[in-house]
Amino acid sequence: MRDVGIYNVARAMPRMSWAPRNLYNLWQRTAGPRSSEIVFTKAESTLFQQRWRSKAMVRAYHGDYIPEKIFKRWYLPDNLPDVRPKKVVMGDDKTMLEEFAKRKKKEEDYERDEKRRGMAPVGSLMLGEIERRIDTVVFRACFAHSIYEARRLVVHGDVLLNGKRHQDPNTRLAPGDMISVNPEAIRFLNGRSKEFPDNVNASHPKKEDLTPFHLPYYAAPWLFVPAYIETNYNTCSAIYVRHPTARPGYSEIPTPYDADGEVIRFAWEWYVKRRPRIRSKTRLERMPLDRAFNPEEMELEKQRARERKAAARRAANVSGMILN
């Protein structure tokens, strides 16, 4: 754990945890006295400050244990729309004005279509790579009471990946991968600790035939399993079925913030402008293990990009010849 003050009440940063103090911080940010700090409808801060604050809030919950440089290089999807301004010729004011007018028109058309038929919250999909991590899947499957305990289970060898011990918590799973957790390492399944006194099966007439399940206090807000994970508590295993998706009005990625709200949108805009572009062979060798990565597809995409640049260059040369 990099920061010992992750549950600091003064900062009120929600984390992936069932801790009561974290639940209080979540209440502060959603319905409590500090909820107005992330509402930018009538904010006096600049756009840069709003984006930076949104990025800080999103990163505190999604992968706060991942260094920012590594997150931007390896955990941002390549298919995010690019909102960075295009390069223009210096002094060509007419081209700049035309591009600005087209861009404003596209933004108005997008907002009109969004209100008319609803648009999928694609901004939340930038966190899909975090949800593929093996430690995140262990936490989402409710085998650990925090993401930090899930990482400890992986590092200590209590998690099997497709039947083999796997001790790298940075691994990103591929659809169809199965993880299995050692039942003796799951604290709320054996009920040894006083932190987990609530026996869910106490009132069941045949509780001896059921899997013991001792919940910690205030665990109800976190008791859900995303749709892309199939869990079996009899065998303490889970299958990563597919990648998270989004549809109009709904996103499968669990987050304490509105999937199509200002916080996610501003964080998305922050990273779209600042994500690194170059992934050389030397850097690819240092990439965290991605079981769904296909280098042939990446080479094909690079070839297509080169062809698009060559076509644009030829079109520019032809237009220059016509103008002359």
> What's the pLDDT score for residue 298?
62
> What's the pLDDT score for residue 319?
57
Element holding 303 (H helix, E strand): helix 295-323
Q: Domains in the chain, start-ordered, CATH in brackets?
A: 20-78+124-196+211-273 (3.10.290.10)
DSSP per-residue letters across 246-297: EETTEESS--SS-TTSHHHHHHHHHHHHH------HHHHHTSPPBTT--HHH
Number of neighbours of residue 87 by Cβ within 10 angstroms:
6
Q: Are 65 and 6 in contact (CB under 8 A)?
A: no
Burial 185-218 (b: 16+ CB within 10 A, else e): bbbbbeeeeeebeeebeeeeeeeeeeeebbbbee
pTM above 0.95, yes or no: no
Neighbouring-strand partners of residue 290: 172
> Which residue type does 301 have?
E
> What's the pLDDT score for residue 136?
95
Q: Mean pLDDT, 10 residues at a time, over the chain (324 residues)? A: 76 90 90 83 81 92 90 81 49 56 58 63 87 94 92 94 92 93 86 60 70 76 89 91 87 89 88 72 76 70 74 72 46
